[in-house]
Amino acid sequence: MGLSESRTLFLFLLVPLSFLPAVFYYRFQDKPNMVHPQKCHHGNISILLWHWPFGRPYKLDRDVCLEMYNISRCFLTDNTSLFSNADVVVFHHQELSRGMSSLPLHLDRPASQKWVWMSLEPPVNNANLTQFNGLFNWTMSYRRDADISIPYGKTLLGGDGQGFQAATNHSCLVSWVVSKYRPDQTRAAVYQRLKNYTSIKVYGKWNKRPLSDKELLPTIAQCQFYLSFENSEAKDYISEKLWRNAFQAGAVPVVLGPIRATYEAIAPPDSFIHVADFKSIADLAAHLKHVAADRQAYEKYLQWHRTHRIKTYRDWRERLCQICVQYPSLPARKVYQDLEVWVNSQD
């Protein structure tokens, strides 16, 4: 082998190898305690929900995961007497943090039992975390780096086959549904400035124009755009305000939340307008008016319906059944020694 050939070979090997540490770093940086994925779990998995989120119970008759979601060997219960038989015990944060429920620290915890900290709220709503350090094995949240990721919605490949037809009979430009308006939130400031340039139909408790579940989507569908403004701008926090309110209504979302790259990774392609893309709110308003008046430009934001569809999650049972789907690949040994740091991490 001549000198130049061996150098070529050397580079050929070295260049790809030099990426390996980066790949490993990426794969494992959020799972520092991960050793090896669990052996395939062939038996039944029993999941105990210690208390229902927000005190609203759902029926858990018979084999819910199989009957509703075609997930077999996955048994949900909310009967706390079955604690010692549970493979996984799930605790929803709000009730723990407010003292409406407490951890079973007085009970013998089986060695292989996993405790799951669950919350769908952004960090600002997850208070009183330090008391839970060193107790939980897994996290369950909308975050992509949670052990069990339970987003509000997701994008699937393949159109829904219902044919794509942009509505032509809109009666308004922009709508917004807001129940808890707080002037100190970024979304309030953006709204206050945007409404200087364009009229915005506002619904919800704040405006004393609440919409029933049935009225919600048809009302939003009357306008071309919907303000999918999250109440908190946090890593990966994209709520039903995007998935359900905008996408399911067929309105084009104007988003305020995590950075554009997050939406690009999670939402369908070319499906949203990001507030941060504009130098000023005046520019944003001008863009909305331009797109509204140009049918082709508007339809560009709806093209994704041909190639993608979305799925939303609203039922806690479906989320809990997801634990079984992910169970075989969840970290076998892990403890959250500092839950507050994990919850508040932004990178």
Ligand X SMILES: *[C@@H]1O[C@H](CO)[C@@H](O)[C@H](O)[C@H]1NC(C)=O
Name the residues that contact ligand X, by CB under 6 A.
43-44, 70, 79, 81-82, 97-99, 127-128, 134-135, 137, 167, 169, 171, 192-193, 196, 221-222, 333-335
Nearer to ligand X, 187 or 266 (CB): 187
Nearer to ligand X, 101 or 222 (CB): 222
For residues 33 and 107, what is the distance between their CA atoms, to the nearest angstrom? 25
In whole angstroms, the minimum distance from the beta carbon of 23 to ligand X comes to: 25
Residue 161 phi, psi (nearest 5)? 75, 5
Nearer to ligand X, 97 or 186 (CB): 97
Nearer to ligand X, 171 or 346 (CB): 171
**DSSP conformational letter for 128:** -
Nearer to ligand X, 6 or 102 (CB): 102
Q: How far is CA 186 from CA 124, 190, 203, 233, 274, in A?
A: 14, 6, 18, 8, 14
Of 305, 311, 312, nearest to 162 by C-alpha is 305
Tokens standing for residue 269? 């392609």
Max Cα distance, the chain (Å): 81
Nearer to ligand X, 193 or 317 (CB): 193
In whole angstroms, the minimum distance from the beta carbon of 268 to ligand X comes to: 22
Nearer to ligand X, 267 or 320 (CB): 320
| Residue count (the chain) | 347
Query: Which among 95, 121, 233, 299 is annotated as catalytic?
Result: 121
Whether residue 5 lies in the annotated active site:
no
Helix (H) or strand (E) holding 172: strand 172-177
Residue 237 phi, psi (nearest 5)? -80, 95
Q: Which residues are CB-neighbours of 166 under 8 A, at least 6 positions away?
A: 250, 295, 298, 299, 302
Determine contact, residues 320/49, Cβ cutoff 8 Å. yes
Task: Tell me if residue 28 falls in helix, strand or coil.
Answer: helix
For residues 186 and 157, what is the distance between their CA atoms, to the nearest angstrom? 33
Q: How far is CA 338 from CA 88, 129, 297, 315, in A?
A: 20, 9, 47, 29
**DSSP conformational letter for 142:** S
For residues 139 and 31, what is the distance between their CA atoms, to the nearest angstrom? 11
Determine contact, residues 254/226, Cβ cutoff 8 Å. yes
Residue 289 phi, psi (nearest 5)? -65, -40
For residues 37 and 128, what is the distance between their CA atoms, to the nearest angstrom? 31
Which residues are identified as catalytic? 121
